[in-house]
Amino acid sequence: MGSQGIHSDLVSVPQNRPLLVALLPIPVAFVVGVALVGNTSQLYFWTTVAETVLFALSVNLLFGQTGMLSFGQAAYFGIGAYTVGLLASHQVNPLAMLALSSLTGGVAAALIGAVTLRTTALVFAMLTLAFGQALYSVTFHLQAVGGENGIVGIVPAGLGGIDLGQPRILWVFTAVVVSIGAFFLWMVSRSPFGRALRMIRDDATRAEMLGIPVFRYRLFAFVLSGAIAGLAGGLYAFVQGVASPDSLFWTTSGEPVIISLLGGARFFYGPVLGSVIYVAATDTLSQMTPAWIFWIGLGFLIVVLLSPDGILGGVHRLWLRYGTRALDGGRRRAR
Amino acid sequence: MTAILLPVVNGVAFAMLLFIVASGLTLIFGVMRVVNFAHGGFFALGAFLTFTLAAGARLPMTEFALAAVGASLICAALGMVIEVVVFRRIYHLSHTDSLLATYAALLILQGSLTLIWGNKPRSQPLPADFGHAVTLMGVQVASYNVLLIALGLLVAVFLWAVLIHTTMGRMVRAVASDRTMSAALGINVDLVFTGMFGLGVFLAGMGGALASPLFQLDSTLASTLVLESFAVVLVGGVGSVLGALIAALLLGLLNSFLVAFDPVLADFSLYIAMAAVLLLRPTGLLGSAAMESR
């Protein structure tokens, strides 16, 4: 994609299959490398990053690609976590548990989406928030799911004799599940359906006029996002060993939105970059100073003032200004 | 009678606290069209500054009032600086793209609380003459709640008088409805923005100052009441001060009755009620359709 690409196509990727296949060994080598040489805290760090990436990507399918700000995605994330939490003591196959997490997240999203999607923009954000908080207060008060402490001490059952409680194995397992989920979302984003979503984001009225069933597509995106958020929540329960009301709280919904904005919400890989930076920054700074929130805030502010469309947005603009010029020998004027 | 009157007084008192905070939010929202997450940070800052200015002591009413006003003014001054340095650069962004900036401002304010006051929770006693209960139609109610109700009504009347009946208020409403046209007519839009941001943050700080004897003061205070304030703003209709007053009263009363009769269901019903209002009237009770999109 050159500098002439239209705005709506920013999220698309080069149509260069051999290149992508050639690049594939890099993430595979990374996963294996971390598994081989990582110590316990590094393994925990990257496992947390991976699970955050999946949640952020699911939220960004709505936020960055469809232009819908939901402040209630923690509900589906939390439902996924609780699904695993309730099943874990019954020795259920981990893959079946994750499939069920995804299913419960998707079903909840379908029910809530059918109601909330009658509105748009900020009212939609507030409605998703309201329903999310309503579910939060249910888990908080319901003693059957552990009340305000939630379900603790979740240990995934073995997968055909492999012990998932082992940090190294849990990392590889998480990395594989997240990669499959991310690949699925990437395929969705590249599909005609994904293009239609970006069209709805850029101009919903025009999309409707051109025959795109806007409500149905938005609902479908909402359900997909909820299902993947449920999957991410299930992984969270494996990794952290808990399913608590906190995972349904509205601040948990805000985190992936901030992560997407930080990395660049209009780019498919924005949430991936955002997650790595966010988890690394909170992890490092919170060990250094009790006022770590101050420095995180300052960092975000600098990013947003320098580049309102996130880090990848800034990189993209620099590329359009200097990179393409270098490639074309300065013949093509940068936009 | 007692069973009804007590939740009514407590509910209205909570509603007034909520209204003071939310009215600031709705002004900023209505005039600058920016979703200001940092509002909760200024609320918390107002509470902490009151604690410091009052030295954490039980003061007579006049001195507590001075501390509260001083804290709100410091908040307003800081707010205007932040408006000029940060917010002015993000007005051209959409609601959602400016979220990261206002969220960053919230984190910075919240982190400053820890930088300045440390991690230890603080508490501010009620002013000396307001620690007792007064008898109102045969019911014992906390006198501080009566004070909150009086101050909330005062703020409502003040905002109504300024916005509707002064030249300054007309200028503000002109800028809110069309900033380009207002600028063409010679109104200094930048000045109106900075001034309104200062007023909005002053109200957040004042809410925090009044809430300081009621809450434990720690850095989580920055996320206390924010959600409820956003709910009040949207249920009332973005930019409508009267709407915010009505919505605050509805939510405050609903909350206080639910807590009195069934605490477990209180939160749940509150959010469902909020969702119901927004579904039936997406523009809020007194909002205009113009604010819904963008």
Stretch B160-166: mean pLDDT, rounded?
A: 92
pLDDT beyond 70 at B134:
yes
pLDDT of residue A15: 54
B293 contacts on A by Cβ (under 8 Å): 120-121
pLDDT of residue A328: 66
Stretch B109-135: mean pLDDT, rounded?
A: 87
DSSP result, B202-240: HHHHHHHHHHTTTS-BSGGGGGTTHHHHHHHHHHH-TT-
pLDDT beyond 50 at A240:
yes
Give percent of chain B with pLDDT exceeding 70.
Answer: 97
Give percent of chain B with pLDDT exceeding 90.
Answer: 50
- pLDDT band of residue A7 (cuts 50, 70, 90) is very low
B266: tokens are 């209180």
pLDDT of residue A207: 94
- pLDDT band of residue A329 (cuts 50, 70, 90) is low
pLDDT of residue B1: 63
Asked if the C-beta of A120 comes within 8 angstroms of chain B's C-beta atoms, the answer is: yes
A294 contacts on B by Cβ (under 8 Å): 107-108, 110-112, 114-115
Q: Are A45 and A283 in contact (CB under 8 A)?
A: yes
pLDDT of residue A204: 92
pLDDT of residue A264: 93
Please name the residues between 93 and 132 in chain B that touch chain A, using a CB distance below 8 Å. 93, 95-97, 99-101, 103-112, 114-115, 118-119
Stretch A239-256: mean pLDDT, rounded?
A: 90
From B114, which residue of chain A is nearest by alpha-carbon distance? A291
A224 Cβ contact partners less than 8 Å away, ≥ 6 residues apart: A58, A61, A106, A185, A188
- The tokens 């900023």 sit on which residue? B28
Of A122, A138, A301, which is closest to B104 when you measure between CB atoms? A301
Q: Which of A129-138, A325-334, B198-207 has the highest mean pLDDT?
A: B198-207
Please name the residues between 174 and 233 in chain B that touch chain A, using a CB distance below 8 Å. 219, 223, 227, 230-231
For A192-233, write each residue's pLDDT tens digit.
999 999 999 999 999 999 999 999 999 999 999 999 999 999
- pLDDT band of residue A27 (cuts 50, 70, 90) is confident
Stretch A134-138: mean pLDDT, rounded?
A: 90
pLDDT of residue B6: 83
Q: Tell me how far CA of residue B198 lies from CA of B17, B146, B228, B258, in angstroms.
A: 19, 27, 21, 35
Q: What is the pTM of this model?
A: 0.87
**Left, alpha or beta for B178 (phi > 0: left; psi -120 to 50: alpha)?**
beta
Q: Are B47 and B208 in contact (CB under 8 A)?
A: yes
A36: tokens are 């081989």
Stretch A38-43: mean pLDDT, rounded?
A: 90
Cα gap A151→A145, rounded to integer Å: 7
Q: Which of A96-100, B150-154, B287-291 has the lowest mean pLDDT?
A: B287-291
Please name the residues between 262 and 291 in chain B that touch chain A, using a CB distance below 8 Å. 264, 267-268, 271-272, 274-275, 278-279, 282-283
SS3 (DSSP) at A154? coil
Q: Which of A91-105, A285-299, A319-333, B201-215 has the lowest mean pLDDT?
A: A319-333
User: Count of A–B CB contacts within 8 Å?
Assistant: 134
For A49-63, write each residue's pLDDT tens digit.
999 999 999 999 999
B35 contacts on A by Cβ (under 8 Å): 122
- pLDDT averaged over every residue in chain A: 87
- pLDDT band of residue A16 (cuts 50, 70, 90) is low
From A121, which residue of chain B is nearest by alpha-carbon distance? B293
pLDDT of residue A142: 87
CA distance B265 to chain A (A): 8
- pLDDT band of residue B288 (cuts 50, 70, 90) is low
CA distance B162 to chain A (A): 28
Please name the residues between 42 and 101 in chain A that touch chain B, using a CB distance below 8 Å. 63, 67, 69
- pLDDT band of residue A2 (cuts 50, 70, 90) is very low
- pLDDT band of residue B150 (cuts 50, 70, 90) is very high
Of B35, B97, B264, which is closest to A308 when you measure between CB atoms? B97
CA distance B133 to chain A (A): 32
pLDDT of residue A10: 46
pLDDT beyond 60 at B292:
no
For B20-39, write each residue's pLDDT tens digit.
999 999 999 889 888 888 99
Asked if the C-beta of A111 comes within 8 angstroms of chain B's C-beta atoms, the answer is: no
pLDDT beyond 90 at A307:
no
B114 contacts on A by Cβ (under 8 Å): 290-291, 293-294
B279 contacts on A by Cβ (under 8 Å): 115, 118-119, 127
- pLDDT band of residue A136 (cuts 50, 70, 90) is very high
Alpha helices in chain A (DSSP H): 17-23, 25-37, 40-60, 74-87, 94-116, 121-141, 167-190, 192-202, 204-209, 214-240, 250-263, 270-288, 292-306, 310-318, 324-327
How many CB atoms lie under 10 A from the CB of residue A149? Answer: 12
CB atoms A133 and B271 under 8 Å = yes
Q: SS in 3 state form for B240-260?
A: CHHHHHHHHHHHHHHHHHHHH
Stretch A163-176: mean pLDDT, rounded?
A: 89
pLDDT beyond 60 at A11:
no
For A98-113, write each residue's pLDDT tens digit.
999 999 999 999 999 9
B294 contacts on A by Cβ (under 8 Å): 121
